[in-house]
Amino acid sequence: MASPSLVVLSMIPVLHSILSMASASLSCVLQCESEVNMRLYLHQIAAGPGINQVEIVTSSKPSEFGLTAVTDWTVIDGPNPATATIVARTKGMQVQADVAGPGWFNYFSMVFEKNSRSFLYTFGLV
């Protein structure tokens, strides 16, 4: 189940693009928008010390169709968890929703560490 975290990360730039499109009714008279580009990594530990996800529904299917896990992942600013800084936390669930597999349906809330009022809710099939 390591591959879903990489796929979920690829959703973040897409979500950013969607969220950054402002409608005319939401525009400011003054310059109030800015673009932030960040490369973030979901730190997913499925087994062993520091586990941050638990399977709550198992599956006997070859593709693990129906497997469901509860997640409490950290979001870090670098690929090495030992040297990276935690910038956010995500809490949610993922479900293997494709009979042929893999096709993970993820839904979670991401709350940023520095400003707990900054958050992102996301869901989708990856």
Q: Is 105 exposed, middle or buried (CB count within 10 Å of its CB: 0-12, 13-18, 19+)?
A: middle
pLDDT at 11: 53
How big is the chain by its Cα radius of gyration, in Å? 16
Q: Is the pLDDT of residue 1 over 60?
A: no
Domain boundaries along the sequence of the chain: 3-125
List phi, psi (to 5°) of 7.
-70, -40
pLDDT at 29: 64
Q: Is the pLDDT of residue 126 over 90?
A: no
Q: According to DSSP H, which parts of 2-115 are helical?
A: 3-20
Q: Before 49, cis peptide (omega within 30)?
A: no
Q: Is the pLDDT of residue 82 over 60?
A: yes
Whether residue 102 contacts residue 34, with contact meaning beta carbons closer than 8 Å, is answered with no
Among 74, 71, 112, smallest CA distance to 95 is for: 71
pLDDT at 114: 86
Joined together, the tokens standing for residue 53 give 């996800």
Q: Is the pLDDT of residue 41 over 50?
A: yes
Q: Is the pLDDT of residue 58 over 90?
A: yes
pTM over 0.85: no
Mean pLDDT across the chain, nearest whole number? 81
